Amino acid sequence: MVIAVAILFGMQAEPAVAARRSAPVPWAYLFGSAPPRQRGTAHRTAVPLPKSRPAEAPAPEGLEAAKKPAPAETAKPGEQAAPEPQLSACRQALTEEVAIAPSIPDIHGPGGCGGEDLVRLEAIVLPDKRQVSVKPAAILRCRMASAIADWIRTDIVPLAQKLGSTISDLDNFDSFECRGRNRVAGALLSEHGRANALDVRAFRLANGRSISLTDRTVLRELRENVLHSACTRFATVLGPGSDSYHEDHIHLDLMERRNNYRICQWDVYDALPQVAPLLPAERPEQAPPRVVAAKSDGAKSDADKSGTSKSDAGRHGDSKSNADEPEAAPKPRVAKPEPTKKRRQNRRS
């Protein structure tokens, strides 16, 4: 009881003591009519600035990274920024000194069509800085475009120089196309659908001459040299003689097969004669004599019955004997019908 009474008296005594210690509030402050209180003036003090960094001092770590502009697309919270795509070894080697082949975005089409590391091959740059235009521009994988450029620069240019000119254009018959083999419905995906093939139809020289690789009038030796160079560099070479789909162009690709298996099917045909022979060739002297069939006995008896001979035919001015001519067959005799009684009466009258 004593402790409870002491606590009660102590709680009531603290507010009373606080009220006696606080100063009385003037009556004017309660209604807002008191004059404003004057504040003391603030005194400004000069803050010393740090000395400027000397020019010879090395740049602190992270300063160069801070100067780089931030990317347009920032990563969302909790996600890491996507790393910048790195160029492949083929893309780094296929420079403007080798070919005009700008990179294009990857293609991911239906059925596995498309590919990555694609370029648009527009021209091939020769060692003397001349360009061989690819008409139209071919969409290929970088590795296939590099193989085409090396083939033209190393093998085809010397062949054109033997003809007294230089190569200027490459006739592109077909490059990337999302389709099956030979455009057959339901067939396996063609290497054209993977941007890994090129169909070449002809080369054009600087003097205006066009060299078709399937033309029989083109020098056979030249076509054979192109065949050997193509089969050395590419995994698949298809031309005339392979099938009916490749009679007017040459198919080239870099298809990967087991054990590095290659296909080279291109028949270099001989030139056709310019003028077809109209008459048969003369009979050689060493040929055996022709066998003439002897006349039968029946034919001889018919000649005797005709009563004519070669001398008689000569007298009448006929160059051929009647015996040599076929005898006309006798006409059959037709029995006349007997006249009726009425006809007999008319005749009598």
Block residue for tokens 């404003």:
36
CB 225 within 8 A of CB 159: yes
Centroid of chain to Cα 274: 35
Q: Where does the chain have alpha helices with state H?
A: 2-21, 27-30, 63-67, 89-93, 142-151, 157-162, 220-233, 297-305, 310-315, 341-348
Q: Which helix (H) or strand (E) holds 238?
A: strand 236-238
State the Cα–Cα distance between residues 323 and 321, nearest whole angstrom. Answer: 5
- Whether omega before 102 lies within 30 degrees of 0, making that bond cis, reads no
Cα 211 from Cα 218, distance rounded (Å): 7
Length of the chain, please? 349
Q: Residue 332 corresponds to which tokens in the numbers above? A: 């059959």
Output the pLDDT for position 258. 93
Two tokens at 3?
């402790």
Do 144 and 254 contact (CB within 8 A), yes or no? yes
Whether the Cβ atoms of residue 157 and residue 226 lie closer than 8 Å to each other: no
Name the residue among 116, 105, 104, 102 with its Cα closest to residue 194: 116
Report pTM. 0.57
Rounded to whole angstroms, how far apart are CA atoms 249 and 240? 8
Angle between the N-to-C axes of helices 142-151 and 220-233, in degrees from 0 to 180, rounded to the nearest 10: 150
Strand pairing of 167-174 and 131-141?
parallel
- pLDDT score, position 123: 97
Give CA–CA dist 40/146, Å, rounded: 84
Cβ atoms 122, 100 nearer than 8 A: yes
Q: How far is CA 345 from CA 70, 330, 334, 342, 348, in A?
A: 138, 36, 25, 5, 5
Query: What is the structure's pLDDT at 314?
Result: 46
- The residues, any chain, with a CB within 8 Å of residue 139's CB and separated by 6 or more, are 104, 118, 119, 120, 121, 175, 176, 195
DSSP codes, 168-223: EEEEEEE-----BGGG-TTPPBPTTTTT-EEEEEEEEETTS-EEETT-TTS-HHHH
- Blockwise average pLDDT, block size 10, the chain, 349 residues: 52 49 53 57 66 73 51 57 78 95 93 93 95 96 97 95 93 94 89 96 94 93 95 96 93 94 94 73 83 65 54 47 52 59 49
% helix, strand, coil for the chain, step of 5: 30, 15, 55
